[in-house]
Structure 1
């Protein structure tokens, strides 16, 4: 892999994407843009800390070397953002702006960590689904060499800032997995580390020209396959 940039590198999935890339030794340069410094460090890391997200598109265009692939695991919650309108600015508007900036700068591949279940007749009317679907559609329309959409179910893992009710959902899905088997947990949610590994694996395949489609959607089963079953350190 050539230089790869990560947006959302301090979040639950994004932090695992970063640590996975740094541990792999490839790409030679891993670039991040974030409001605070990521926890993972390493000689390959080229981190940009910018608290003002309105400047992120300009920071992305200034990255040297220009990344071949950009991975966005950027997202927040309504509670953390202070309402739907502010969440929309991050989850939708900022992701779209960064995708547009990446395309203009010559980034070839874009990988977006989205969410499962947003395209249903009822679900698609919810604001959260509309944010994710809007970003997915914008990325597809930008005509990257490869666009990869990763759609996990419930993201299982410990967050720095707990989501309301998140611990209960995590415990319920994990408990189901212990009772009925791993397959039952995998149907509803995936571990953050597994999602991150699948994201990295998909990015590698895109860079190698081995992605199965120009616009490639990874659902839960694909995430488990790439991030756990077929994963090689």
Structure 2
């Protein structure tokens, strides 16, 4: 069985890559990214192209893909504008998911965000919500959407001040077991849950909210 991983150089995507590489049920890993992921493995086929608009066509050329993981995303500050943010976070993500289905992917796992809602007045949450709806519209045999709270862990690239501040507060809340409604969770834990659900989800569509995600992680320990 082969797996596609988008966002493999990010916090959660890298964790998914590292963990799936150790999984016995995966024989081949395919990543598509702007820079090579931090993994050396005989299982890995790393496709590197700085032009993300070319990624869908590169994905379509892959064979025997069965599982797709997307932890790919950006921020408005990194994208440079609201328009570019939507083009990347929604546009590239959606087109890659569509290409993944054409390439044979049967189970698609999307790492979204707590509060995702296509009707939100906040651009980030609205974009995530619209992406969820559009990927559900692709009608994969199985679609799994994870909506984690504040993400904890070491990142290869720094996020903006707001993300860093939230992660700092989330880390303190986690450390002192405070209930701040942030549901802080590590990238490693999100990856573990994503991989588990890719093999064990019972329903055609499963949307896992932040609080339920934490409960699942505890059950998997």
Given the two structures, how large is their TM-score scaled by the length of structure 1? 0.87
Matched, 1:106 2:104: yes
Tell me if structure 1 keeps the 8 A contact 2:117–2:125. Answer: yes
Output the CA distance in 2 between the equivalents of 1:199 and 1:76: 20
Cα displacement (A) at 1:186: 8.2
Q: CA deviation digits over 1:2-52, x for unaligned, max 9?
A: 111101101111000000111223301111111110002211111111111
Matched, 1:143 2:139: yes
Tell me if structure 2 keeps the 8 A contact 1:151–1:217. Answer: yes
Bigger fraction of residues in helix = 1
Runs of 4+ in structure 1 deviating by more than 3 angstroms, as ranges, are 184-187, 225-228
- Equivalent residue for 2:198? 203
Matched, 1:132 2:122: no
- Equivalent residue for 1:208? none
Aligned residues: 220
Given the two structures, how large is their TM-score scaled by the length of structure 2? 0.92
- Gaps of at least 5 residues in structure 1 are 206-210
Aligned 1:1-233 pairs, distance under 5 A: 2-64=1-63, 66-119=64-117, 124-165=120-161, 166-180=163-177, 184=179, 187-205=182-200, 211-231=201-221
CA distance 1:75–1:151, change in 2 (3 Å):
same
CA distance 1:213–1:39, change in 2 (3 Å):
same
Greater CA drift, 102-111 or 148-157: 102-111
SS at match of 2:22: helix
RMSD of the TM alignment (CA)? 1.9
Output the CA distance in 2 between the equivalents of 1:135 and 1:3: 24
- Gaps of at least 5 residues in structure 2 are none
SS at match of 1:33: strand
Cα displacement (A) at 1:120: 8.9
CA distance 1:172–1:18, change in 2 (3 Å):
same
